[in-house]
């Protein structure tokens, strides 16, 4: 999990630092955002002081109607030693009581010109992505016709060579060798490359090549949602491989089950074409067209007709 500080919000969003400059290095430890409406009334028993606080039009209007002594009290109690910051939306003016309390306690006050709902949505999405569960897997991630395909298998089985062929066929490389994966939602896995090897591909006998330099910016992308897994393994004569596609195998990564297919590797098989077709077939399945099920239904219908003819 990455470390997120209040200064990161200043760098990534259209925010203006109004007060509390000494606290911009404070760490944000949760993606939850609090709107301190009930706290403005003076009830701080359950005040989530470790969260980023967001003050919108309603909270500010109530605050401005308070007596001067109450304004000072609320501002001082909002600004605790672990509060990472206070965001004020709609470009509203910050009362002097808040500025004074923020400067004394070192709590940054950030002003945004955007509407409250827009600010909450963007900040939440940003923090959720930063705090998402994280893991790394040995494999290659390629964007094929908009489908994120994670190619796995033993070292030397041909993952990188297959990815190179896919790039030559017009698809886009996301990561080679090591794929960093974060779970951004209960059913969503996003894969990207470690910064050190981004856009690089290792081909045995050839070495390291820069895919973006060789094939252009259209041949790479920074991240992609993982939709399916293609596992490459050396052909085993004793093993029975799926020939119809009716059995759908899945692999669980963190809390998400991803559809998985095993592709046997042997001389003469064009793995890039097989994986390309698998990605297209996956898209068809999501659109409601399943060739394996259609074949099974046709077979069942023919068997039933033969039985009826015999009777």
Binding-site residue positions for Mg(2+):
160, 202
Element (H, E) at 139: none
Alpha-carbon dihedral 292, 147, 262, 198, rounded to 10 degrees: 170
Paired residues of 191 in beta bridges: 181, 224
Catalytic residue among 159, 171, 199, 224: 159
Let me know if 138 is a catalytic residue: yes
Question: Which residues, 6 or more positions from 130, have their beta carbon under 8 angstroms from its beta carbon?
Answer: 1, 2, 4, 31
Binding residues for ATP: 153-160
As a whole number of angstroms, the distance between CA 57 and CA 14 comes to: 18
**Separation between Cα atoms, residue 294 and residue 268, nearest integer Å:** 29
* Alpha-carbon distances of 305 from 92, 219, 292, rounded to whole Å: 75, 51, 20
106, with CB counted inside 10 A (0-12, 13-18, 19+), is middle
Is 199 designated active site? no
Specify the 3-state DSSP secondary structure of 15: coil
Beta bridge partners of 192: 180, 223
Q: Is 159 a catalytic residue?
A: yes
Query: Which residue of the set 177, 225, 260, 283 is catalytic?
Result: 177
Assign 6 to helix, strand or coil.
Answer: helix
- Annotated binding site, which residues? 153-160, 202
Q: What are phi and psi of 251, to 5 degrees?
A: -125, 130
Two structure tokens written together for 293: 């099920």
What tokens does 300 get? 């069942």
- Catalytic residue selected from 243, 252, 307, 310: 243
Query: What token pair was written down for 203?
Result: 């081909």
Torsion angles phi and psi, residue 204, rounded to 5: -60, 130
Catalytic residue of the set 138, 168, 204, 298? 138
Q: What would the two tokens of residue 54 be?
A: 């967001």
Indicate which residues carry an active-site annotation.
138, 159, 177, 243
């Amino acid at each position: 999990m990455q470390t997120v500080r209040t200064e990161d919000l200043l760098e990534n969003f259209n925010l203006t630092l109004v007060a509390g400059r000494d606290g911009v290095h404070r760490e944000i430890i949760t993606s939850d955002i609090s709107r301190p409406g009930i706290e403005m009334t003076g009830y701080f028993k359950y005040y989530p002081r470790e969260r980023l606080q967001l003050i919108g039009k309603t909270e500010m209007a109530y605050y401005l109607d308070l007596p001067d002594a109450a304004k000072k009290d609320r501002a001082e109690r909002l600004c605790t030693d672990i509060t990472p910051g206070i965001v004020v939306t709609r470009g509203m003016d910050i009362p002097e009581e808040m500025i004074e309390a923020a400067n004394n306690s070192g709590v940054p006050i950030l002003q945004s010109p955007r509407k409250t709902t827009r600010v909450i949505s963007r900040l939440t999405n940003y923090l959720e992505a930063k705090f998402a569960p994280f893991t790394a897997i040995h494999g290659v991630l390629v964007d094929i016709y908009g489908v994120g395909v994670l190619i796995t298998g033993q070292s030397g089985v041909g993952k990188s060579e297959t990815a190179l062929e896919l790039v030559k066929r017009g698809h886009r490389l996301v990561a080679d060798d090591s794929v960093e994966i974060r779970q951004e939602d209960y059913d969503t896995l996003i894969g990207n490359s470690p910064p050190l090897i981004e856009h690089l591909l290792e081909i045995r006998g050839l070495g390291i090549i820069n895919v973006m330099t060789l094939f252009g910016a259209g041949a790479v992308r920074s991240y992609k949602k993982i939709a399916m897994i293609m596992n490459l393994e050396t052909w085993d004569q004793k093993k029975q491989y799926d020939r119809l596609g009716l059995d759908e195998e899945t692999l669980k990564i963190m809390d998400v089950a991803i559809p998985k297919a095993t592709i046997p590797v042997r001389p003469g098989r064009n793995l890039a074409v097989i994986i390309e077709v698998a990605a297209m077939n996956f898209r068809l399945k999501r659109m409601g067209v399943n060739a394996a099920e259609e074949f099974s239904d046709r077979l069942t219908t023919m068997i039933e007709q033969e039985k009826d003819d015999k009777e």
